[in-house]
Amino acid sequence: DTAVSQTPKYLVTQMGNDKSIKCEQNLGHDTMYWYKQDSKKFLKIMFSYNNKELIINETVPNRFSPKSPDKAHLNLHINSLELGDSAVYFCASSPAPRHHNSPLHFGNGTRLTVT
């Protein structure tokens, strides 16, 4: 199936740990994103990569480091996890940035719980 897939679906960890979330898309899109959805369901963009190049960084703490080994993958590494990092993290993709009218395709999310 063509899709945006992210792993793991659930991630429970303790404060101070380092964890990674992986995302892959097989839609042939050039642009990938990470969004954070908080407990009130508010969605906020964190990062955007176009063909492995960072193009949007929305003032995210530098404990969060995205990595894009190729345009089909965008991983998110989080250092020194804090309680406030608990949220659902969504990966998404879209065609090249100039296609402003193209919708985003979302993965099913990774629910991160920091205890």
Partner 1 sequence: AQSVTQLGSHVSVSEGALVLLRCNYSSSVPPYLFWYVQYPNQGLQLLLKYTTGATLVKGINGFEAEFKKSETSFHLTKPSAHMSDAAEYFCAVSDSGGSNYKLTFGKGTLLTVNP
Under the binding rule (CB under 8 A), the answer on residue 94 touching partner 1 is yes
For 52: left if phi > 0, alpha if psi spans -120 to 50, otherwise beta; the answer is left
Under the binding rule (CB under 8 A), the answer on residue 27 touching partner 1 is no
Within 1-20, which residues bind partner 1 (CB under 8 A)? Answer: 4
- How many CA atoms lie less than 13 Å away from 95 in the CB half-sphere? 6
Minimum separation from the CB atom of position 94 to partner 1 (A): 7
Where in 29-86 does DSSP place strands (E)?
31-37, 43-50, 53-57, 64-70, 73-78
Judged by CB under 8 A, the stretch of 14-22, 60-68, 69-77, 98-106 that binds partner 1 is 98-106
Judged by CB under 8 A, the stretch of 17-25, 70-78, 79-87, 92-100 that binds partner 1 is 92-100
Provide CB contacts within 8 A for 69, sequence distance 6+.
Answer: 52, 75
Within 42-81, which residues bind partner 1 (CB under 8 A)? Answer: 42-45, 48, 55-56
Beta strands 4-7 and 53-57, pairing class:
unpaired
Among 16, 20, 80, 99, the residue binding partner 1 under the rule CB under 8 A is 99
How many residues form the binding site for partner 1 (CB under 8 A)? 28
